[in-house]
Amino acid sequence: LLALSLTAAAASTVAAGCAHEPSCLEDGARCEEIDICEGVLFSCGSGDGAAAVEIGTVAELGVDLDGAEGAGADVVMRNALVTVVIDQLGEPRDLAPSGGTIIDFGPRGGADNVVQIYQLTGILPDDAFEYTRCDTRAAAGRVSVTCRGHLDDRPRVDVATVYELRACEPGVRVRTELLNRSPDAHAWFVGDAAHWGDRNVAPFAPVAGQGFDTPELELGELQDSWGAYPYVLARGVNGDGAQYGFVPCDRRELEGVNDTQVSALGTPRQLVRDGERVVLERFIATRRGAGLAAIVATVLPLRAQLHGDPPAVAITGRVTVGGAGFGGDQRRAMVVVSDGDRPIAEAVPGADGSFALIAPPGADLRYEVRSFGRVAASGSAGAVTDLGDIEVPAPGTSTISVVDDTGTPIYATVHLHPVDDGTAVGAAGSFYDRFGECTPWLGPPGGPSPACNRVLVTPQGVTIELPAGSYLAYATAGPDWTMAETEIGLPEGGSDNVELALARLDVAPPGWLSADLHVHGRASFDSSIPDLDRVLSFAAAGINVVAATDHDQVATYEAAIAAAMIGDRVAVMPGVELTPLIPWLDVQGEDIPRVVGHFNFWPMPYDASLPRGGAPWDEKLEPGELFDIVGPLIGEDGVRMLNHPMSDTIFGRHQGYLKAIALDPRAPIPPTDDGTNQGMLARSPRGGARNVDFDVVEVYNGASGGELVIHRLAWHALLDNGYVRTGASNSDSHSLSDAEIGMSRSLVHTGGTLADFDAAAFNRALKAGDVVAGSGIVVLVTVGSPVGERRGLGFDPFIPEPGDTVDIEVRAPPWIPVTEVRAVTSRGAVVIASGDDLVQPPDPYGTAGVVRWTGRLRVTDLVSPSVDDWLIIEAGIPLLDIADLDDDGVPDTTDNNGDGIIDDADVEEDEDTGPIAVPAPADAGDPRWTMSRVMTDPWPIGWTNPILVDWAGNGWGAPGVGGVR
Amino acid sequence: VRALVAAAVVLASTATARAQAVAPCDDAALLAPADVGIRDTGFDAPAPACARRGVYVTGRGHALVDTADFYGTLAASSWIGARWVLPGSNSDHEFELGARVVDLRFTQTAVITVTETTIGPIYAGVSLFPTRIGDDHAYRLRLRAELDYTNTAYDGLAAGALAENAFTTRISSTLAWHNRLALLAFRTSPVDGPQFRTAAAASTDLGQSLSRNWSLAYGLEAQTGWYGYGATALDHLLARAAARVRLAGRHDLALTIAIPLAGEERTNAVVALGWLIER
């Protein structure tokens, strides 16, 4: 028996050595023998260049895709139908540590809706493919890029991926191999992660109960979302032209998850043991078109070739209004076809309302037509494939303009809200139940105007279609203007002209520039608002200065500013929001490592020839390291901002650094790195900048207004400990609908105007603390002798003389409520004015009552003379009530069940604490009602930056936590 | 470790007088080392220099929980096999044929769980040069190899093999001391020819009978090479122990545990329950 076994082993070894399979793991001709996706055949059309296929660098060939990021030495492959860009080695991006991934992909001359497609075996840092070498190859009728390497930090796990583009093919053939040469068995799946970005692309899974309604992805519950798919489709949410399809070649199904954040598709989850190899071949197609019809027509024949699927059937129909064809835009009509409860295809009808798509044969065909996001018609056709005419309600048409008090048209934003319950129900819509519901749904919330329930209005006016009904239209041009309201009543097919008039208010005084230092546009992976609409939104909100802070990408908006001809209204400082994604930072008391959160930097040099426009890679770096790396790029006057410092996790990643390190604001921050979590702030990871060496703290973030309380708490804790940083307010807007530009802003006192804007001077004033900020309320303060010299804000210590006073003026547009004024020091907040002390504007839509309160108080009445302290003046309504249920020093839960008590009953299921949620105003009796017509989750507040009171004139000393050194 | 070594020394030093007319391989099954392996297919399990005969059924549990890497594996496996002996002039020749009948393995990372059931491999073993040296010592070279194509966990070829020099010294009538030097090899052929992994192990074990029907075994093993020969040279230093009871009719029941104490090995523990019917 032993002889038998040994003989068998020897024979099999010899056999294995002689007849080994071709592989691409090692360089050589054997890789080229492999016919990836064998059996797939596309025929070439006629015409010049139809059979062309080429490969080169971006520098050589350029990239003809809208929204492409490829630059310099990135590799372009293209034929007559598609363009694909593989990023160069040594340029990590997102979770991919090396380059060698697809960063641009789309139909020639069309849109690139792919953030990135990269290979992985899981979601842990070591599960990413790290390519160490990429080779290009050109042969007759085909070109390819072959990248080889290993798993990140697992050098004994070899990986290789071949991207092959052949002439006349509408996509790339991709083969990935993985060989585990390590002794350990691993639980992996080998596949692609297609990073969609959450607002750009919707995946479509043709399985029961899904279609576009794929389960929301929870990283900790990945198993629950896991599924097997014959193919997976995806399309741009904004109907801007790129669709994608993933088809397995070497197996019948792809397994994985689909979400608007990411699709991860590949092999089944399996144990990959010592010496095991896994291979995956797939075809990734792309087509142009608003709906999925074109990509379905590509994918189904592919499956028939590869897997013998039965021939698809043609389904036709026409969407009509009053018997006339109605379509040409997904706002007007989108059609999804199902076989029973399994969605199988989708189309956006053409301008004549007709649609034609192919779909897998089904005996129980059903259709659903959405018009303005709501289900406008549905039915069952059984086995009949001509659905005939499908009638939907006619929309109304409204032409909207906004003028100032001289009758001159201006830039503004108009928000629509339903007046009655019938409109509220009948006009509520969404993109196939994804990306949130809007009433009315005028377009995808993350897309161009009109988006969700709002529309940008330029001086030329705008005409929109909307579901018939009664609406209140609210116009806003930011806190320096009044708000206007008017009613729109539109029957089906009706039309009207609406003009809303706004008046400029004296809210922001001369010499102060209105700034938003945290905005996102098309360059961000999670934003799809066109650049033109992005910059128009600045003009429509009265923002003077913008820091362009796209995720991991330097952008300038320069072309859009020029195209919109608003260079005299908005100054843009190119910047970046470094957004690490890989959890790696060990924090005491926590099992799972963390990312360090988000930081903004500006001004950044923009270089289109560099990856990410010149932004550095930011993974696995402490803040101090980021500051050291970015410092030379932004220069001495550049700004480093700690964004939303206490924000919780999204997709398992911490958004704020202070939350990531579990800052306890009740405890002192050690002056040196003592090994504690708090001590990390004083750490200088590279011997240069410390982790605490940011210049600005984002205290109000428009995308998470409810977190104001905890960001403010953290900022004050830094001040207590002597880390004096500017507190800013920004929108963090990613679209027209998520965080309204202008409603959370910082006013920086430069003493000049936009016409003489100087970025360096602006940034110096910002870093010096000569700033007031908030959500539309402006608090102006001077300190000094009541009869002599006075000074304003700034971090130069203020040395009071006896009798010195603090003079305060609170301004706000009449539509923003102010019910109290507070003086805040390390010892807490004291209300210094409230109730009848303040002016209450008689009409929220009027011009009267901008100045809400003026007061003069002695410095000694506000700051205890016993110890140096900082002094901030705030105004607004009382802070949102949040309790600290887990007693970690950071409030975490609001009264989410509305019973007046914050307790465990308010906590989200399966969570220990939270969430923090701003209650929506129930009716017009709520002081926030008017403001909430044009702002999501508003919380009225304005604050000054701190005045550092140095009683003895011997240098300002930090008061310590709670005023206790 | 220190406690284990101390206990072994004490037991050895306090052993009763030299065995009287006891051959080194008497009660070989009862005084065998704790015979459990760390590797998934168990081919690295030690054996005494003394031949054993009979049939056995073993169930094994394997646990690996690596919190830092968010990785865990729990496995349950069963073996069945037979050993038979051809008498020799100076010692006996042992042959073995067995199989891992089934392996049920649950693996979890931070986000992925995988459960797999596999069958095989079949393996065969033989002792070579069995020699009795003097009254107290026995030696043999044992080879054991798994058969290709018999392990469904692998699509292609995969087999582990062991060459083991085993020395058994009968210290007393109740105490046997086992030492071994072993070479391990594992070969797969996933692509472009075979891949090999090798390791060398040294171990020392004591088998001690407590009564006619009860015995204990305990030992230490060090291994190198499986995870590399460079900076990661120590695969493991493990401690293992077994408790055996002899039931009526020469049925032995053995509970065995192995715990890696140091080295690259991430396995926390292996526990086996075996039933041997000695013939």
Contact A223 B192 (CB under 8 A): no
pLDDT at A383: 78
Instruction: Tell me if chain B has a CB within 8 Å of the CB of A16.
Output: yes
pLDDT at A184: 86
Contact A30 B192 (CB under 8 A): yes
**B130 φ, ψ (degrees, to nearest 5):** -65, 130
Partner-chain residue, chosen from B112, B188, B192, that has the shortest CB–CB distance to A269: B112
Q: How far is B249 from chain A (nearest CA, A)?
A: 29
* Distance (Å, whole) CA A234 – CA A256: 15
Q: How far is B15 from chain A (nearest CA, A)?
A: 39
* pLDDT-derived band at A17, boundaries 50, 70, 90: very low
Name the token pair of A626: 């980021």
Query: Is the confidence at residue B222, as pLDDT, over 60?
Result: yes
* Opening angle at CA A365, ends A359 and A370, nearest 5: 85
* Distance (Å, whole) CA A534 – CA A557: 8
Instruction: Tell me if chain B has a CB within 8 Å of the CB of A30.
Output: yes
pLDDT at A792: 97
pLDDT at B278: 80
Query: Is the confidence at residue A247, as pLDDT, over 80?
Result: yes
* Distance (Å, whole) CA B43 – CA B46: 9
pLDDT at B228: 85
Partner-chain residue, chosen from A12, A122, A220, that has the shortest CB–CB distance to B157: A12
Rounded to an integer, what is the distance from CA A469 to the centroid of its chain?
32
Instruction: Tell me if chain B has a CB within 8 Å of the CB of A351.
Output: no
Instruction: Tell me if chain B has a CB within 8 Å of the CB of A225.
Output: no
* pLDDT-derived band at A743, boundaries 50, 70, 90: very high
Using alpha carbons, list the distances in angstroms from residue A310 to A253, A255, A267, A313, A408. 16, 21, 24, 9, 63
Instruction: Tell me if chain B has a CB within 8 Å of the CB of A122.
Output: yes
Confirm if A175 and A32 have CB atoms less than 8 A apart. Answer: no
Size of interface A-B (CB pairs under 8 A): 133
Instruction: Tell me if chain A has a CB within 8 Å of the CB of B185.
Output: no
**Which residue from A505, A237, A480 is spatially nearest to A346, judged by alpha carbons?**
A237
Name the token pair of B233: 């040279």
Q: Which residue of chain A is at minimal alpha-carbon distance from B195?
A: A275
Chain B residues touching A220 at Cβ < 8 A: 110-111
Chain B segment 3-32 residues within 8 A of A by beta carbon are none
Contact A274 B187 (CB under 8 A): no
The SS3 call for residue A313 is strand
Instruction: Tell me if chain B has a CB within 8 Å of the CB of A10.
Output: no
pLDDT at A2: 45
Instruction: Tell me if chain B has a CB within 8 Å of the CB of A251.
Output: no
Instruction: Tell me if chain B has a CB within 8 Å of the CB of A220.
Output: yes
Higher pLDDT, A465 or A19: A465
Instruction: Tell me if chain A has a CB within 8 Å of the CB of B161.
Output: yes
Q: How far is A30 from chain B (nearest CA, A)?
A: 10
Q: b vs e for A77-91, b when ≥16 Cβ sit within 10 Å of the residue's Cβ? A: bbbbbbbbbbbbbeb
Q: Give the containing element (helix H, strand E) for A534.
A: helix A531-539
Instruction: Tell me if chain B has a CB within 8 Å of the CB of A123.
Output: yes
In the predicted model, what is the mean pLDDT of chain A? 93
Query: Is the confidence at residue A674, as pLDDT, over 50?
Result: yes
Name the token pair of A60: 């050589």
* pLDDT-derived band at A592, boundaries 50, 70, 90: confident
Q: Which of A20-34, A107-121, A385-399, A669-683 has the lowest mean pLDDT?
A: A20-34
Q: How far is A447 from chain B (nearest CA, A)?
A: 32
* pLDDT-derived band at B16, boundaries 50, 70, 90: very low
Q: Which residue of chain B is at minimal alpha-carbon distance from A179?
A: B190
Q: Which whole number is the average pLDDT over A477-505?
A: 97
Chain B residues touching A277 at Cβ < 8 A: 156, 190-191
Confirm if B246 and B277 have CB atoms less than 8 A apart. Answer: no
Residues near A206 by beta carbon (within 8 Å), at least 6 away in sequence = A229, A230, A231, A232, A233, A342, A343, A344, A345, A360
pLDDT at A14: 46
Contact A269 B114 (CB under 8 A): yes
Contact B113 A273 (CB under 8 A): no
Rounded to an integer, what is the distance from CA B171 to the centroid of its chain?
21
pLDDT at B87: 85
Query: Is the confidence at residue A948, as pLDDT, over 80?
Result: yes
Strands A947-949 and A869-876: antiparallel
**Number of separate helices (H) and strands (E) present in chain A:** 14, 59
Query: Is the confidence at residue A89, as pLDDT, over 80?
Result: yes
Instruction: Tell me if chain B has a CB within 8 Å of the CB of A151.
Output: no
* pLDDT-derived band at B244, boundaries 50, 70, 90: very high
Q: Which residue of chain A is at minimal alpha-carbon distance from B156?
A: A276
Instruction: Tell me if chain B has a CB within 8 Å of the CB of A152.
Output: no
Q: What share of chain B is helix, strand, coil (3-state, %, to 5)?
A: 5, 60, 35
Instruction: Tell me if chain A has a CB within 8 Å of the CB of B148.
Output: yes
Instruction: Tell me if chain A has a CB within 8 Å of the CB of B66.
Output: no
Name the token pair of B219: 């030992």
Q: Which of A747-751, B17-21, B163-167 has the lowest mean pLDDT?
A: B17-21
Contact B126 A2 (CB under 8 A): yes
Q: Which of A148-152, A616-620, A828-832, B109-113 has the lowest mean pLDDT?
A: B109-113
* Distance (Å, whole) CA A601 – CA A577: 6
* Distance (Å, whole) CA B105 – CA A665: 46
* Distance (Å, whole) CA A68 – CA A65: 5
* Distance (Å, whole) CA A675 – CA A828: 29
Instruction: Tell me if chain A has a CB within 8 Å of the CB of B123.
Output: yes
Name the token pair of A188: 């992996």
pLDDT at B192: 66
The amino acid at B142: R
DSSP H helices, chain B, are: 2-13
* Distance (Å, whole) CA B59 – CA A456: 71
Instruction: Tell me if chain B has a CB within 8 Å of the CB of A277.
Output: yes
Q: b vs e for A235-268, b when ≥16 Cβ sit within 10 Å of the residue's Cβ? A: bbbbbbbbbbbbbbbebebbbbbbbbbbbbbbbb
Q: How far is A277 from chain B (nearest CA, A)?
A: 6
pLDDT tens track for A536-561: 999 999 999 999 999 999 999 999 99
pLDDT tens track for A340-366: 999 999 999 999 999 999 988 877 899
Partner-chain residue, chosen from A13, A187, A188, that has the shortest CB–CB distance to B108: A187
pLDDT at A385: 86
DSSP structure string for A634-676: H-TT-EEEE-STT--EETTEES-HHHHTT--TTSPPPSS--SS
Contact B197 A183 (CB under 8 A): yes
DSSP state of A899: S
**A606 φ, ψ (degrees, to nearest 5):** -100, 130
Instruction: Tell me if chain A has a CB within 8 Å of the CB of B94.
Output: no
Query: Is the confidence at residue B13, as pLDDT, over 90?
Result: no
Contact B148 A126 (CB under 8 A): no
* pLDDT-derived band at A48, boundaries 50, 70, 90: low
Residue of B62, B64, B96, B111 to mutate for A, most A C-beta atoms under 10 A? B111
Chain A residues touching B150 at Cβ < 8 A: none
Q: How far is B124 from chain A (nearest CA, A)?
A: 6
The SS3 call for residue A255 is strand
Chain A residues touching B195 at Cβ < 8 A: 181, 275
pLDDT tens track for A854-899: 999 999 999 999 899 999 999 999 999 999 999 999 999 999 999 9
DSSP structure string for A667-723: SPPPSS--SSTGGGGG--TTSSS-TT--SEEEEEEGGGGGGHHHHHHHHHHHHHTT-
Q: Which whole number is the average pLDDT over B269-274?
A: 97
* Distance (Å, whole) CA A490 – CA A466: 9
pLDDT at B26: 87
pLDDT at A577: 98
Q: Which whole number is the average pLDDT over A623-647?
A: 97
Partner-chain residue, chosen from A16, A124, A223, that has the shortest CB–CB distance to B113: A223
pLDDT at A650: 82
Name the token pair of A735: 């679209």
Q: A385: how many CB neighbours lie within 10 A of its CB? A: 17
Strands B122-133 and A726-730: unpaired
Q: Which whole number is the average pLDDT over A830-858?
A: 97
Gap between the terminal Cα atoms of chain B: 36
Contact A20 B107 (CB under 8 A): no
Contact B143 A2 (CB under 8 A): yes
How many CA within 13 A on the CB side of residue A741? 36
Q: A870: how many CB neighbours lie within 10 A of its CB? A: 23
Query: Is the confidence at residue A782, as pLDDT, over 90?
Result: yes
pLDDT tens track for A554-582: 999 999 999 999 999 999 999 999 999 88
Q: Which whole number is the average pLDDT over A128-136?
A: 95
Contact A274 B159 (CB under 8 A): no
pLDDT tens track for A510-540: 999 999 999 999 999 899 899 999 999 999 9
Q: Which whole number is the average pLDDT over B46-54?
A: 93
Q: Which whole number is the average pLDDT over B233-254?
A: 93
Place of tokens 């020897």: A10
Instruction: Out of A9-13, B38-42, B132-136, give the one with best mean pLDDT.
Output: B38-42
The SS3 call for residue B128 is strand
Confirm if A364 and A341 have CB atoms less than 8 A apart. Answer: no
Instruction: Tell me if chain B has a CB within 8 Å of the CB of A384.
Output: no
Q: Percent of chain A beyond pLDDT 90?
A: 83
Q: Which whole number is the average pLDDT over B56-84?
A: 92
pLDDT at A20: 63
pLDDT tens track for A266-292: 999 999 999 999 999 999 999 998 899
Residues near A584 by beta carbon (within 8 Å), at least 6 away in sequence = A125, A593, A594, A595, A619, A620
